[in-house]
Chain A
Amino acid sequence: MELKTTREGTNLIVDMEGRVDGTNAMDFQSALEGAIQQSDQGVIMDMGQLQYISSAGLRVILLVAKSLQKQNAKLLGCALSESVREIFAISGFDKIVPVHDSRADALKALED
């Protein structure tokens, strides 16, 4: 699993690549939490290169969603592969993390 983060104004964009599973979900959590700043208004997880995620990874996303909610920031997802999208739908995570087709759409949603 690799995370690359970029910043656009008060928004953080996280590129997720590879696999998030029970063996590396802790690393995913600390990397993600480490990248988020108190001043962030929105966080976009770009999952275009995410091959795989299990419940361990979803739990980290939930934890991050909760803490972002406390700082009144939004968490969005974009560019999900078909399989990841299915996992999001089955688990109800698409309600926790609004999902957009592209990064541009997600950024636009944050502006609104």
Chain B
Amino acid sequence: MSESESESYKILVVDDEPDVEPLMLQRMRRHIRSGRYSFVFAQNGIEALEVLNNDAEIDMVVSDINMPRMDGLTLLSQISELNPDLRAVIVSAYGDMKNIRTAMNRGAFDFVTKPLDFDDLQVTIERTLENMKAWKEALSSRDKLVSLQRELDVASQMQQSILPTQFPRGDGFETFGSMEPARNVGGDFFDVVLLDDGQIGLAIADVSGKGVPAALFMMSSRTLLKGSAIGLTEPGKVLREVNNLLAEDNESAMFVTVLYAVYDPATGHLSYANGGHNLPVIFHGDGSCIVLPYTEGLALAVLAGMEFDTGEVTLAPGDTLVLYTDGVTEAMDAENVEFGMERLQAVFASGAPESAEAANEAVFAAVREFVAGAPQSDDITCLTLRRIGA
């Protein structure tokens, strides 16, 4: 993330529109001058493959989808065969969910929408590079004997690299998420995805196991979840698809608990599905709260063909939805007493939070105050969504 790092990266930009090259060079000039990025350009998939074949130093690809001769989706499948370490970001028209979904399923790391917001693109590029670095280290440390501490460091970098750094907010809603990683074991991640029709997809998950295998598994869980979320509207169907994909070649018996919800800012309607995860809590404006009703669903990747129910609720203006992992409820104080559900439900007893970020911070503050410095044994993760108003 930090610009001060001296690494430099070569990025291939593939787009058939002639003004992309000058625009990119102009808008990224600061990062080009500092030596962090250098750019190579191609007009279509065929050209891009030629460039990639001749230049082994390219670190990532930013590609348009609709191009003559070879489109971006075909290019993606070729790239993963050419060099699985290469990361690709897809540029697509806003609302072109079908193509974005196909791109994610073909291994794209992320996507940005047109018209291009260069700040957004730069954040996405940084995240992608971060992930690529972590991925390479993870692979190389998997292949050779490394110290446990080293392995855990690599895994933790990988984990950090897939967490979103920007949180969607809009008319009447805002979101916020954060994670406090545990020193050695942990496998939490979360994601917030902009969906079709202005809906918001929210996911929180906890991967079993630790170290590099768990981090790689986390990486595929995140990508598959994002891809499925973009293409399907019903949360139960999203988890069903992700489960089938993850279970397909999961010989290692890892699994991941996931709570996935879709929020419609226009109506406050929230649908959700649960794969063995902790049930979220909705805090009302008066400080009271409800735990979302249980819906059937087993942790993902255990066995293919499982069904996941979809539950539905509506957020009233002023309501805050809190998604969390067991690192919150199972945080322990020096006496080994757990934080527990009751304390979580009491966090806002004295008043509703002012914002999604404040809600998030309040949960962390309550946990921190409770454990009072006792060592943390699991990741603590919390993702909040607030319906603004009244």
Is A in direct contact with B (CB under 8 Å) within the complex?
yes
Task: Please state if B304 and A69 are interface contacts (CB–CB under 8 Å).
Answer: yes
Q: Which A residues fall within an 8 A CB radius of B? A: 59, 62, 65-66, 69, 92, 95-96
A95 proximity list for chain B (CB < 8 A): 296, 298, 306-307
Complex contacts, A59 vs chain B, CB 8 Å: 253
- Which B residues fall within an 8 A CB radius of A? 253, 276, 296, 298-299, 302-307
B304 touching A96, Cβ below 8 Å: no
* Nearest B residue to A96, CB-CB: B303
Contacts A95-B296, A95-B298, A96-B303 aside, 12 further interface pairs with beta carbons under 8 A come to A62-B253, A62-B302, A62-B303, A69-B303, A69-B304, A92-B276, A92-B299, A92-B302, A95-B306, A95-B307, A96-B302, A96-B306
Q: Chain A at the B interface: mostly helix, strand, loop or mixed? A: helix
Complex: how many Å from CA A69 to CA B303? 9
State the CA gap A95–B276 with chains docked (Å): 12
Contact partner of A66 among B296, B303, B306, CB < 8 A? B303
Q: How far is the CB of A41 from chain B (nearest CB, A)?
A: 16
7 A-B Cβ contacts within 8 A? A59-B253, A62-B303, A65-B303, A92-B299, A95-B306, A96-B298, A96-B302
Docked pose: A65 CA to B307 CA in angstroms:
16
User: Which residues of A sit under 8 angstroms from B304, Cβ to Cβ?
Assistant: 69
The distance in angstroms between the C-alpha atoms of A95 and B304, with both chains bound, is: 11
A94 and chain B: residue at smallest CB distance: B298
C-alpha spacing A95/B296, complex, angstroms: 9
Measured CB to CB, the nearest residue on chain B to A97 is B303
Q: Which residues of B contact A96 (CB under 8 A)?
A: 298, 302-303, 306
Question: How far apart sit A1 and B6, CA to CA, in the bound complex (Å)?
Answer: 63
Minimum CB–CB distance from A37 to chain B (whole Å) comes to: 21
Expressed in whole angstroms, the minimum distance between the Cβ of A101 and any Cβ of chain B is 20
Give Cα A96–Cα B303 distance, bound, in whole angstroms: 7
Q: Is the CB of A69 within 8 A of B302?
A: no
**In the complex, what distance in Å separates the CA atom of A24 from the CA atom of B303?**
24
Once the chains are docked, how many angstroms separate the CA of A42 from the CA of B137? 45
Task: Tell me which residues across on chain A come within 8 A of B302, comparing CB atoms.
Answer: 62, 92, 96
**Nearest Cβ on chain B to A110's Cβ, whole angstroms:** 16
- Alpha-carbon separation in the docked complex, A72 to B380 (Å): 40
Contacts of B299 in A (CB 8 A): 92
Q: How far is the CB of A25 from chain B (nearest CB, A)?
A: 14
**Cβ of A67 to closest chain B Cβ, rounded Å:** 11
Residues of A within 8 A of B296 (CB): 95
- Taking a contact as CB atoms under 8 Å apart, the answer to whether A69 and B298 are in contact is no
Q: A62: which B residues are within 8 A, CB to CB?
A: 253, 302-303
CA distance A69 to B243 in the complex (A): 14
Q: B198 CB to closest chain A CB, in angstroms?
A: 34
Q: Output the residue of B299, B302, B307 with the most chain A CB within 10 A.
A: B302
Query: Chain A contacts of B305 at CB under 8 A?
Result: 69
Once bound together, how far apart are the Cα atoms of A92 and B296, in whole Å? 9
The 4 closest A-B CB pairs, nearest first, are A92-B298, A95-B298, A96-B303, A65-B303
Residues of B within 8 A of A92 (CB): 276, 298-299, 302
- Complex CA distance for A92 and B294, rounded to whole angstroms: 13
